[in-house]
Amino acid sequence: MTSTFNNYAAGVMDLLPQDARDAVLASGTRMRLKNKQLVQSRGHRSIGLGIILKGRIRLMTIGVDGTMHLTAILGPGQQFNEVTLFANARRTHDAEAVGETEILTLTAAEYERLSKQHPVLVEALLISNVQRVHQLVEILNDLRAQTKLVALARVLLKNAWHARGDSQKNSLELDIAQEDIAMFLGVTRPYLNQKLGQLCALGFIELSYRKIRVVDLARLSSWIQDQLTYDAVEECDYVLIKEEGRALSDAQRWQSEV
């Protein structure tokens, strides 16, 4: 499973078996973008499923005054614009490339053909999107019911859980830009710095240039539990579908095929 910031759901490509992945990779149109190049604009009517093959994209909403509100940064294997296919809706996000990026786009006709030939594609999209809905519900709960300090701590903890994968590391460094965190929480950089300083003073994190180290995941998690006003249902509990005892998710393997 591959993701970057604030997205812990499995990507569609991570959930597909080999034959279906091969069929997807042999279809559609590929687009290569440079860092910060515009991928799409919110509100466009274009219908199609986007799949990230390499690099990352930043999904956000840009206000008329230029204010940016970050939703997530997606990585290889993850998809976007499902709403244009299944809800006949306009694109919900502005998006830009983060680093050198390659995107595969499937038209409605291409998706329909592939989903008939490989029904597992429908199941993979369903799993991925249900995980995303679950994640969004928890995020809404955090932003509505918790203080900004607790919401920030939860963002850092969730990203740390995801970054450590199957390892048992209790301390790790997050490659997360503070600007992205501020854009996600809807706060200014000075305000974010103040809250990060509070977490530093509590001994939960350490700061360096463009890096945040979570010093003790277990202690941070315990502190958050004491602050919560409800029982959290964590996204880190996701278990990917297995087939014949083998995990379908293997982003490194399929990425070598693109």
The answer to whether residues 256 and 25 touch, using CB atoms and an 8 Å cutoff, is no
Of the candidate ranges 48-52, 61-65, 142-146, 235-239, the one whose mean pLDDT is the lowest: 235-239
For the stretch 14-60, pLDDT in tens is 999 999 999 999 999 999 999 999 999 999 989 999 999 999 999 99
* Stronger pLDDT, 242 or 202, i.e. the higher one: 202
pLDDT band, residue 247 (cuts 50/70/90):
very low
The confidence score (pLDDT) of residue 209 equals: 79
Which pairs from 192-196 meet CB under 8 Å and 24+ separation?
192/152, 195/148, 195/149, 195/152, 196/152
The confidence score (pLDDT) of residue 253 equals: 55
Q: Would you list the domain boundaries of the chain?
A: 12-133+245-255, 147-228
The confidence score (pLDDT) of residue 175 equals: 81
Any residues with CB less than 8 A from the CB of 151 and at least 6 apart, and which?
142, 143, 185
pLDDT band, residue 230 (cuts 50/70/90):
confident
The confidence score (pLDDT) of residue 231 equals: 79
For the stretch 112-126, pLDDT in tens is 999 999 999 999 999
Structure tokens of 79?
């998809």
The confidence score (pLDDT) of residue 4 equals: 63
Domain 12-133+245-255 has CATH 3.50.50.100: no
Q: What distance in Å separates the CA atoms of residue 160 and residue 118, rounded to the nearest whole number?
A: 34
The confidence score (pLDDT) of residue 254 equals: 54
Residues 170, 253, 238, 247, CA torsion sign:
negative
pTM for the full predicted model: 0.85
**93 backbone dihedrals φ, ψ, rounded to 5°:** -135, 150
Written in H, E and C, the secondary structure of the chain is CCCCECCCCCCHHHHCCHHHHHHHHCCCEEEEECCCCEEECCCCCCCCEEEEEEEEEEEEEECCCCCEEEEEEECCCCEECHHHHHCCCCCCCEEEEEEEEEEEEECHHHHHHHHHHCCHHHHHHHHHHHHHHHHHHHHHHHHHHCCHHHHHHHHHHHHHHHHHCCCCCCCEEECCCHHHHHHHHCCCHHHHHHHHHHHHHCCCEEEECCEEEECCHHHHHHHHHHHCCCCCCCHHHCCCCEECCEECCCHHHHHCCC
The confidence score (pLDDT) of residue 184 equals: 92
Structure tokens of 223?
């502190």
For the stretch 84-111, pLDDT in tens is 999 999 999 999 999 999 999 999 999 9
For the stretch 147-199, pLDDT in tens is 999 999 999 998 888 888 778 888 889 988 899 999 999 999 999 999 999 99
Could you please state the CATH topology (level 3) that the domain comprising 147-228 is classified under: Arc Repressor Mutant, subunit A (1.10.10)
